[in-house]
Amino acid sequence: MDRKEFIRLAGASAGMALIASCFQSCSSDDADPNTPTNVDFTLDISTGQLATPGGFVVQNRVIVARVNSTDFVAVSAACTHQGTTVQFQPSQNRFNCPNHNSNFNLNGTVINGPATRPLTQFQTSLSGNTLRVFS
């Protein structure tokens, strides 16, 4: 193999490696590894933090908050910026990340960053004192 052929093959190999890397990063989905999947659990709201409006609990990587006497919300607990567990701030009706102060609406949408992606919202269903949280 002469020098010219070696340089041509080396260049082609480097180009293929770069293209493969680009395709791999472009094809990866934007799913947050901190977001739980297949969520389905129940909570007893007769006692503990969820017994009164403004209370919240984190279970199975989901934060569940009691907004008022009848409404509950559930979103992924990990901030989409760096994965810190968010907290419910009932006086502002929002979730706050104490790490870098990202804020999210009750449905998980970003109010302000540095987070740019929303928290995943989950469904809730109340039956008596049992609250079901599910995907």
| Overall average pLDDT of the 49-78 stretch | 97
Taking only Cα atoms into account, the Rg of the chain, rounded to an integer number of angstroms, comes to 22
Q: Which fold has domain 40-134?
A: Rieske Iron-sulfur Protein (2.102.10)
Q: Name the strands in the sheet holding 103-104, side by side, starting at the edge strand that comes first in the sequence.
A: 87-89, 94-96, 103-104, 110-112
pTM for the model: 0.76
Q: Which of 91, 94, 90 shows the shortest CA–CA distance to 110?
A: 94
Domain ranges in the chain? Answer: 1-30, 40-134
- In tens, the pLDDT along 23-34 reads 443 333 455 677
| Overall average pLDDT of the 99-114 stretch | 96
CA distance 74 to 90: 14
Residue 56 in tokens: 């919240």
> Taking the mean position of all CA atoms in its chain, how far away is CA 40?
16
- In tens, the pLDDT along 11-60 reads 555 545 544 444 443 333 455 677 888 999 999 999 999 999 999 999 99
